[in-house]
Amino acid sequence: MQSFQHYIGGDFKEAATHFDSLDPATEQPWAKMPSASVADVNAAVASAQNAFLSPEWALMSATARGKLLMRLADLVAENAQSLAELETRDTGKIIRETSAQIAYVADYYRYYAGLADKIEGAHLPIDKPDMEVWLRREPIGVVAAVVPWNSQLFLSAVKIGPALAAGCTVVLKASEEGPAPMLEFARIFDQAGFPKGVLSVLTGGPDIGAALTSHPDVAHVAFTGGPETARHIVRNSAENLASTSLELGGKSPFIVFDDADLESAVNAQVSGVFAATGQSCVSGSRLVVQAGIKDAFLARLKEKAEAVVMGSPDDMATEVGPLCTKAQRDNAMALIEKSVSQGAKVITGGQLPQGKGFYFPPTILDCDNAPDAASLSAEFFGPVLSVVSFETEAEAIEIANNTQFGLASGVFTQNLTRAHRMIRAIRAGIVWVNTYRAVSPIAPFGGHGLSGHGREGGIEAALDYTKVKAVWLRTSDDPIPDPFVMR
């Protein structure tokens, strides 16, 4: 079996203990992964703090930081296919998705490379004639980045890219489920020429995450994952008063009006809930469809769902691969069974296939007669769609906002004024109109409510890794007047 190492302080380190990683397509162990200790976490944070304070990084010009990020982007692009194959092997994500996504990850590093010397301060038109006041944006410090196994190279790029562009240093904890691509990414990063300690990459369980996010030298925690883990992270950050950016789960509404282009909407819905085997935080897992077209829409959708090619994730013909873990598959099955007991009707899917692997078929549940079905409120993280219908625009808005999450949403209509009303009314960080699951390094990504706070992507993300310093310069040569009066 392959064996991986941690990357701490610019060096590759053997861990004291290891664990087996299972191939989700075969359920067989294929690699040994390092398991970090609290001592490893302390060493990684210490090296990040030393690097942050060292002249080699602290005094490096923003333009020079940008050039290093551009070099990293080129290396990611050069190694995109091997990284994609590794992610497919370790997580079960299909190769056609990982290949395309990781190739695009390089553009995120290029974007932040270009942004590095454009994080600007400001001159203030202060109300005191003998003062010049300006603002400096300075790096916030050591960043603890915690990413899940799904889309981890993308989810780490939207943390590492802006953090390094701003001048921070990063300790990244990869998920213990499928960490191979992040541990391999460390090898690529090592070739880019950054000073030692600017990035460390390790993996391990919740105890390691707790040690990292509560460490006294961590200034900011950037986390992607579930709300329950996020609550622990927020509690941990009370120890170090670190700021946080949290990109959490979703239960995104996919709203289709009766004037929509049905073929386009059906294709977008397939992409929104069955692509990535439904293992996406922006999964359009709640279809909210106007009653008059419900039957026609579901007929088309059922046909496409049943035609989806489910197979080996390393086959370019495969459209749905296995879920990442057995626990995930068991959770999806339990939620379906509970929803059916509450009145939901299975339109297609819902049964585990025979054979090895954590496979789960595209599943559609009609919940019109089950308004309290668990499937309408719980995040499956699997290829399961729950369907409800509506009569009026106001009812569609009410259904869409009937969730504690608020990450993404989709609206399909050819009525421009209606589209604008929906954009204003939907409580979500992302509204896609007549499209779905589109991303760009230029656009911010994030949500409201239990979907978290802060933004990843765009200039907003880089600003999250800075703090503002106000500088006052007195220009008068006269003696300072009454020292007992605040000026």
Q: Crossing angle for the helix pair 62-78 and 180-191, nearest 10 degrees? A: 130
Helix (H) or strand (E) holding 20: strand 17-23
Helix (H) or strand (E) holding 38: helix 38-53
Strand partners, 2: 31
| Whether 113 contacts 73, CB under 8 Å | yes
Strand partners, 145: 172, 222
CA distances from residue 184 to 106, 149, 173, 441 in whole angstroms, order as listed: 15, 14, 13, 23
Give the position of tokens 């409580």: 427
Local structure of residue 195 (DSSP, 8 states) = P
d(CA 24, CA 172): 24
End-to-end alpha carbon distance in the chain? 69
Amino acid at residue number 112: Y
CA distances from residue 42 to 6, 8, 207, 300 in whole angstroms, order as listed: 13, 10, 13, 55
Helix (H) or strand (E) holding 131: strand 131-139
Residue 31 CB partners (closer than 8 Å, separation 6+): 1, 2, 3, 4, 20, 21, 90, 180
d(CA 25, CA 85): 13
Tell me, yes or no, if 303 is annotated catalytic: no
| Whether 220 contacts 140, CB under 8 Å | yes
Helix (H) or strand (E) holding 296: helix 294-307
d(CA 208, CA 322): 28
SS3 of 116-177? HHHCCCEEECCCCCCEEEEEEEEECCEEEEECCCCCHHHHHHHHHHHHHHHCCEEEEEECCC
Q: From the candidates 177, 247, 319, 456, which is the catalytic residue? A: 247
d(CA 399, CA 288): 8
Catalytic residue ranges: 247
